[in-house]
């Protein structure tokens, strides 16, 4: 891969997040961004139930499994869809290339919104942000919600998908990456160590990776920790603005949350989309366990 440029300053909000007050101000002014609801959970209610129970005014629902991933297989549980397929999906939900987009999930620690943020930026959209704290933060602040089947875009979008807008690590590049940078494993520590594995048939981690559970990037209320705290966290993990960094998880979802947190800290990192579920699809690839 071509290494991402190191960043010496924290990116502006257009790169990353929008707060609840900022979004409410845009809605009140009659200049709303295009809202996408991408709530998802492996174990909770189906995403459609969340959406029907309440969503932000004007938000169009996007499904992680159906819309943001290709068929599971050798490429992992949530491989990237093809460029043409993603473009068609984004046009169907009304995304336009020159229109700001805001994506949200239940709370940022659920990570689905970060996956869509990364994908839109990877495929060339330059103005996409994640609602910090997600739907829960919006609801706590008394933001208006809509119940029922909800929104359809007023017109099809015109978004043109061009891959390559964000750094990406392929499975063939993974083995040598830890020798020159830091490969962050975004799963919980017990999965990294190989003590439990609830989702994939093999437990453990990629040799040379560093355990960095993604949810440590969030405060208890689901919002991201301040950039200074994130920089300190990543510095303790061996990552600075001068360190090549990449993140993986089980299937490329929570690792996108890690990439977003790194960007808040002023660090551009690559995403290994296939992640652990792709890595172990080939039994000849080495597996490590323990700390």
**Which token pair is 243?**
């360190």
CB 59 within 8 A of CB 151: yes
CA 126/CA 62 separation, integer angstroms: 19
**Which token pair is 79?**
């491989």
Active site residues: 249
- Give the chain's radius of gyration (CA, Å): 18
Identify the H or E element spanning 270.
Answer: strand 270-271
CA dihedral 270, 170, 130, 88 (to 10 degrees): 140
CA 215/CA 188 separation, integer angstroms: 8
**Which token pair is 78?**
């949530």
Residue 139: closest CA among 50, 211, 208, 29: 50
Contacts of 98 by beta carbon, 8 Å cutoff, 6+ apart: none
CB 89 within 8 A of CB 110: no
């Amino acid at each position: 891969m071509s290494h991402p440029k190191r960043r010496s300053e924290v990116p502006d909000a257009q790169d990353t997040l929008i707060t609840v007050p900022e979004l409410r101000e845009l809605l009140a002014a009659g200049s709303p961004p295009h809202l996408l609801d991408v709530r998802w959970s492996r174990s909770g209610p189906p995403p459609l139930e969340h959406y029907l129970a309440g969503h932000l005014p004007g938000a169009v629902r996007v499904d992680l499994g159906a819309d943001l991933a290709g068929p599971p297989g050798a490429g992992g549980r949530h491989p990237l869809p093809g460029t043409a397929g993603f473009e068609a999906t984004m046009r169907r939900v009304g995304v336009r290339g020159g229109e700001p987009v805001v994506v949200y999930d239940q709370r940022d620690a659920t990570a689905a919104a970060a996956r869509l943020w990364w994908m839109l930026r990877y495929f060339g959209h330059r103005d996409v942000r994640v609602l910090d704290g997600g739907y829960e933060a919006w609801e706590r602040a008394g933001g208006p919600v809509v119940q029922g089947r909800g929104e359809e875009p007023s017109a099809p979008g015109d978004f043109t998908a061009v891959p390559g807008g964000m750094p990406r690590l392929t499975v063939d590049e993974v083995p040598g990456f830890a020798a020159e940078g830091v490969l962050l494993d975004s799963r919980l520590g017990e999965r990294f160590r190989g003590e439990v594995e609830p989702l994939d048939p093999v437990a453990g981690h990629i040799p040379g990776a560093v355990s960095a559970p993604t949810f440590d990037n969030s405060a208890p209320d689901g919002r991201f920790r301040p950039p200074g705290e994130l920089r300190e966290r990543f510095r303790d993990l061996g990552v600075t603005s001068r360190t090549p960094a990449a993140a993986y998880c089980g299937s490329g979802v929570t690792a996108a949350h890690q990439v977003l947190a790194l960007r808040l800290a002023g660090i551009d990192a690559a995403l290994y989309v296939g992640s652990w579920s792709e890595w172990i699809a080939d039994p000849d690839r080495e597996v490590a366990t323990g700390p």
